[in-house]
């Protein structure tokens, strides 16, 4: 919906841009870690619209607003070091710049790392689009004793240079003023043509002339100088786009100046160009930047001496991960419980009361409360954990520690075909697979992201614990700890195994590189953290929420239809269970009750227990509870919310109590479950029980994980693969355990 509006806007903008008051389109480009995100957040704040670039999973942020009467559209390009044709991010950035032709590029440059940042600037200038440089992190450069001659920088590049400190919102006004002035004084904004040296320039001139005479149609599509450079570099992306690579006369024509260049430099042309661009960046950096002669040891170095130490590095990393894990789940758990209590308690009662006035058929009441309200509750329950996870992940990335974590863990993760950064999503998986899948967005390479997401469901999440608890309580009270431990270890071991298998099959031949900047440690701005967290939470609520609600209603239909079935065996779910049961026969639990419970676990694995309860221990009529008055309800909501805040705070600040992992069962719950345990004892043997919980550990990701994967990858493909391999894996492992156990005489 919003996408079409955006597109319409763009069309209108192109059609009548000159006639009506013009909207200025700004593309913001810059290196990763240059403070670009913070700058965008500081300018656009809550007006940011976060979506995806078409066809890919790279995040696209944009915002439309007015500044002093001028309409501005801001588009954030992915952070890149260069504009090569090899990574998704770089292709997106250059395609946008070349084809959408923004009015101005705001190039965010890290003042403390001038040379490498200017390498991108040099490439941006090739496009001939007006550029304004935001010389960001300027305060840090000043405090390091750097002196940057801004006037000379402006003269050499022919662009405006504005010092900014995005974290303190300083310089942003000047930046926006420069942007709105862009149409006024064109001279200052039209970048100078930098001189690439006589031989490159003369080769470029020859190619430009040829393009003009033989392919004039390309002049409308591409900036001439940029196109000439790309053709000289034999840029695969551009060659593919314009298709003259096939044209022999052109290829022959262009080959001559290139061969000449190659001979003179003894290098391939791509390297010659990169060398020359860096020479320009270095030259400029030397000209305008004065560093103090005596360099004191920086804070980053001091921290890294400890954090990346040979002996301390891993313990510190594990401790940091423990804290993040605990904070994510302990902070969010009380709120999740509160939301759960609200939707199953007061909200459900109110809906029943309101529906009671119009006296509808019983099934509509059930659909509204058990289907819709429970479904909505199920969506909202995830919000606190997604918010908390996003907050901490953003903090880890913004502070610079994420890169260190990847550095420390890469060797171990690389062994199973993953990237150092994969460790954090995998770890979060033990709490809940859903935020874990969202956390894979810290991985830049699509292959790493996909493989990590495929392995995440093997991390035993918190929702599987209630199932283990019931079965362990029924059969393995003597060695409860060992059995529980064996399940977690089995998940990890199988993840290692599957990682190796996937590396050699599905992802054969591709081996992504690990060339990563270790940025200086910095305190991320709170505002930026909050905006990022809020965007992600909102995104989940709206996009994932719709799907989850639909699935939850579907499950209601399965459980309750045909309406009024006395025996659960005759419900659609029961019938599905009967169909599936024979497949489960060889693995120890070939009955419709177990099969139906497993099907209902599609929505969340803890539901397996609830369904078993309903099937095995039918309630002897609903317990009549006194209906609390509305005022009591309201008081209770307020009080329990206050309690949730208190619990959350005490979880975070006090000890690292294991609130999120221990299964807290109230006395009432225990009382309800004991008949279930007795029934389970009569229906399962210890061996089939163990096979069953193993199956529950492995058999498939829940529906919310499926939706998270769909959202992150824009396709159902990876969920499909995860579903298929896990089903097979679960069956094979359970089969081995059950049949192997029987052979050993354990059955």
Partner 1 sequence: MNLAMLKPGEHGKITKMGAVGPLKRRLMDMGVLVGENVKVEKIAPLGDPIEVTIKNYNLSLRKKEAEGIEVEVVK
Q: Footprint of partner 1 on this chain (CB under 8 A)?
A: 81-82, 84, 86, 113, 115-116, 119, 270-271, 274-275, 278, 300, 304, 308-311, 313-314, 403, 406-412, 414, 420, 513-519
Calpha distance 743→721 (Å, rounded): 32
To the nearest whole angstrom, how small is the minimum distance from the Cβ of residue 257 to partner 1? 21
- Strands 59-67, 70-76: parallel, antiparallel or unpaired by DSSP? antiparallel
Cβ closer to partner 1: 202 or 271? Answer: 271
Calpha distance 738→587 (Å, rounded): 6
Number of C-alpha atoms within 13 angstroms, CB side, residue 503?
17
Q: What's the token pair of residue 359?
A: 């006296």
To the nearest whole angstrom, how small is the minimum distance from the Cβ of residue 411 to partner 1? 4
Residues in CB range of 229: below 8 A, 6 or more apart: 126, 204, 273
Cβ closer to partner 1: 237 or 349? Answer: 237
- Strands 23-30, 70-76: parallel, antiparallel or unpaired by DSSP? parallel
CA dihedral over 497, 499, 500, 505, signed as positive or negative: positive
Cβ closer to partner 1: 113 or 648? Answer: 113
Calpha distance 560→362 (Å, rounded): 12
Cβ closer to partner 1: 79 or 701? Answer: 79
Cβ closer to partner 1: 115 or 208? Answer: 115
Calpha distance 537→540 (Å, rounded): 5
Q: What is the DSSP string of 53-77?
A: -TTS--EEEEEEEEETTEEEEEEEP
Cβ closer to partner 1: 331 or 407? Answer: 407
- CA Rg value for the chain: 30
Q: Which DSSP category does 370 fall into? A: I
To the nearest whole angstrom, how small is the minimum distance from the Cβ of residue 406 to partner 1? 8
Q: Which of 624, 618, 594, 586 is nearest to 696 (CA)?
A: 594
Cβ closer to partner 1: 312 or 645? Answer: 312
To the nearest whole angstrom, how small is the minimum distance from the Cβ of residue 314 to partner 1? 5
To the nearest whole angstrom, how small is the minimum distance from the Cβ of residue 218 to partner 1? 24
Residue entry with tokens 């890169």: 403
Calpha distance 30→124 (Å, rounded): 10
Residues facing residue 65 across a β-bridge = 72
To the nearest whole angstrom, how small is the minimum distance from the Cβ of residue 234 to partner 1? 12
Residues facing residue 663 across a β-bridge = none
To the nearest whole angstrom, how small is the minimum distance from the Cβ of residue 723 to partner 1? 32
Residue entry with tokens 């560093």: 291
To the nearest whole angstrom, how small is the minimum distance from the Cβ of residue 317 to partner 1? 8
Residues in CB range of 243: below 8 A, 6 or more apart: none
To the nearest whole angstrom, how small is the minimum distance from the Cβ of residue 545 to partner 1? 39
Q: What's the token pair of residue 397?
A: 């990335």
Calpha distance 684→587 (Å, rounded): 12
- Strands 59-67, 49-52: parallel, antiparallel or unpaired by DSSP? antiparallel
H or E element that contains 663: none
To the nearest whole angstrom, how small is the minimum distance from the Cβ of residue 494 to partner 1? 22
Q: What's the token pair of residue 657?
A: 């109590």
Residue 317 CB neighbour total at 10 angstroms? 19
Distances (CA, A) of 403 to 111, 271, 511, 521: 21, 27, 19, 10
Q: Give the rounded distance of the alpha carbon of 466 from its chain centre.
A: 28
Residues in CB range of 425: below 8 A, 6 or more apart: 436, 437, 439, 440, 442, 443, 452, 453, 456
Residues in CB range of 560: below 8 A, 6 or more apart: 363, 366, 367, 370, 571
To the nearest whole angstrom, how small is the minimum distance from the Cβ of residue 90 to partner 1? 9
To the nearest whole angstrom, how small is the minimum distance from the Cβ of residue 430 to partner 1? 22
To the nearest whole angstrom, how small is the minimum distance from the Cβ of residue 205 to partner 1? 25
To the nearest whole angstrom, how small is the minimum distance from the Cβ of residue 503 to partner 1? 15
Q: Which of 730, 283, 77 is nearest to 464 (CA)?
A: 730
To the nearest whole angstrom, how small is the minimum distance from the Cβ of residue 432 to partner 1? 28
Cβ closer to partner 1: 19 or 513? Answer: 513
Residue 171, sorted as left (phi over 0), alpha (psi -120 to 50) or beta, turns out to be left
Calpha distance 60→295 (Å, rounded): 39
To the nearest whole angstrom, how small is the minimum distance from the Cβ of residue 262 to partner 1? 15
Cβ closer to partner 1: 478 or 513? Answer: 513
To the nearest whole angstrom, how small is the minimum distance from the Cβ of residue 266 to partner 1? 10
Q: Which of 626, 638, 604 is nearest to 708 (CA)?
A: 604
The SS3 assignment for 566 reads coil
Provide φ and ψ at 153, rounded to 5°: -60, -45
Provide φ and ψ at 368, rounded to 5°: -65, -45
Residue 687 CB neighbour total at 10 angstroms? 19
Q: What's the token pair of residue 612?
A: 């078993």
Pair 187, 195: CB distance under 8 Å: no
Quick one: angle between helices 198-214 and 248-265, nearest 10? 180
Cβ closer to partner 1: 514 or 641? Answer: 514
To the nearest whole angstrom, how small is the minimum distance from the Cβ of residue 588 to partner 1? 40
Q: Give the rounded distance of the alpha carbon of 195 from its chain centre.
A: 41
């Amino acid at each position: 919906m919003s996408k079409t509006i955006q597109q319409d806007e763009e069309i209108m903008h192109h059609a009548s841009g000159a006639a009506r008051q013009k909207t200025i389109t700004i593309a913001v480009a810059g290196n990763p870690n240059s403070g670009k995100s913070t700058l965008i957040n500081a300018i656009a704040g809550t007006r940011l619209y976060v979506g995806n670039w078409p066809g890919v999973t790279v995040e696209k942020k944009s915002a439309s607003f007015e500044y002093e009467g001028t309409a501005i559209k801001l588009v954030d390009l992915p952070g890149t070091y260069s504009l090569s044709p090899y990574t998704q991010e770089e292709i997106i950035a250059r395609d946008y710049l070349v084809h959408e032709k923004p009015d101005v590029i705001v190039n965010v440059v890290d003042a403390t790392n001038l040379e490498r940042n200017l390498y991108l600037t040099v490439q941006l200038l090739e496009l001939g689009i007006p550029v304004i440089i935001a010389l960001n992190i300027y305060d840090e450069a000043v405090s390091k004793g750097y002196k940057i001659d801004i006037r000379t920088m402006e003269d050499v590049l022919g662009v405006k240079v504005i010092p900014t400190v995005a974290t303190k919102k300083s310089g942003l006004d000047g930046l926006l003023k420069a942007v709105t002035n862009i149409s006024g004084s064109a001279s200052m904004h039209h970048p100078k043509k930098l001189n690439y040296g006589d031989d490159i320039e003369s080769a470029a001139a020859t190619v430009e002339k040829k393009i003009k005479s033989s392919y004039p149609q390309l002049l409308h599509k591409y900036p001439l100088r940029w196109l000439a450079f790309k053709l000289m570099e034999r840029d695969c992306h551009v060659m593919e786009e314009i298709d003259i690579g096939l044209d022999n006369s052109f290829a022959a024509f262009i080959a001559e100046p290139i061969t000449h260049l190659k001979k003179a430099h003894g290098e391939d042309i791509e390297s010659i160009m990169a060398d020359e661009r860096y020479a320009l960046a270095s030259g400029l950096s030397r000209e305008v930047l004065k560093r103090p002669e005596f360099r004191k040891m920086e804070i980053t170095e001091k921290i890294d001496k400890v954090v990346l130490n040979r002996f301390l590095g891993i313990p510190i990393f594990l401790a940091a991960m423990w804290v993040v894990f605990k904070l994510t789940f302990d902070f969010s758990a009380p709120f999740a419980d509160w939301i759960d209590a609200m939707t199953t308690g007061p909200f459900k009662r109110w809906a029943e009361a309101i529906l009671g006035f119009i006296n509808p058929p019983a099934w509509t009441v059930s659909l509204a409360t058990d289907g819709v309200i429970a479904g909505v509750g199920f969506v909202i329950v995830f919000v606190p954990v997604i918010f908390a996870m996003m907050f901490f992940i953003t903090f880890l990335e913004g502070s610079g520690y994420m890169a260190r974590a990847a550095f420390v863990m890469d060797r171990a993760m690389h062994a199973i075909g993953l990237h150092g950064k994969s460790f954090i999503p995998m770890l979060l998986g033990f709490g809940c697979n859903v935020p874990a899948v969202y956390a894979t967005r810290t991985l830049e390479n699509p292959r790493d992201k996909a493989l990590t997401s495929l392995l995440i469901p093997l991390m035993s999440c918190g929702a599987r614990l209630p199932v283990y608890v019931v079965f362990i309580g029924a059969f393995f009270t003597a060695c409860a700890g060992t059995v529980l431990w064996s399940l977690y270890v089995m998940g990890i071991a199988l993840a290692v195994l599957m990682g190796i298998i996937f590396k050699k099959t599905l992802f054969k031949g591709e081996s992504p590189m690990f060339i990563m900047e270790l940025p200086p440690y910095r305190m991320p701005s709170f505002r930026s953290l909050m905006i990022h967290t809020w965007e992600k939470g909102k995104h989940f609520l709206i996009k994932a929420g719709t799907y989850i609600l639909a699935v939850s209603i579907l499950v209601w239909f399965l459980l309750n239809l045909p309406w009024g079935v006395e025996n659960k065996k005759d419900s659609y779910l029961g019938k599905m269970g009967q169909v599936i049961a024979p497949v489960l026969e060889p693995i120890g639990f070939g009955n419709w009750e177990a099969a139906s419970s497993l099907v209902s676990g599609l929505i969340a694995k803890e539901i397996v227990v609830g369904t078993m309860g309903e099937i095995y221990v039918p309630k002897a009529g609903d317990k009549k509870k006194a209906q609390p008055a509305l005022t009591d309800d309201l008081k209770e909501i307020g009080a329990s919310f206050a309690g949730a805040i208190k619990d959350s705070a005490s979880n975070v600040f006090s000890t690292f109590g294991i609130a999120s992992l221990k299964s807290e069962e109230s006395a009432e719950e225990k009382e309800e479950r004991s008949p279930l345990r007795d029934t389970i004892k009569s229906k399962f043997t210890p061996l089939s029980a163990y096979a069953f919980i193993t199956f529950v550990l492995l058999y498939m990701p829940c529906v919310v994980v499926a939706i998270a994967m769909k959202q992150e990858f824009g396709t159902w493909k990876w969920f499909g693969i995860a579903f298929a391999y896990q089903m097979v894996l679960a069956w094979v492992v359970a089969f081995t355990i059950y049949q192997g156990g029987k052979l050993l005489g354990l059955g």
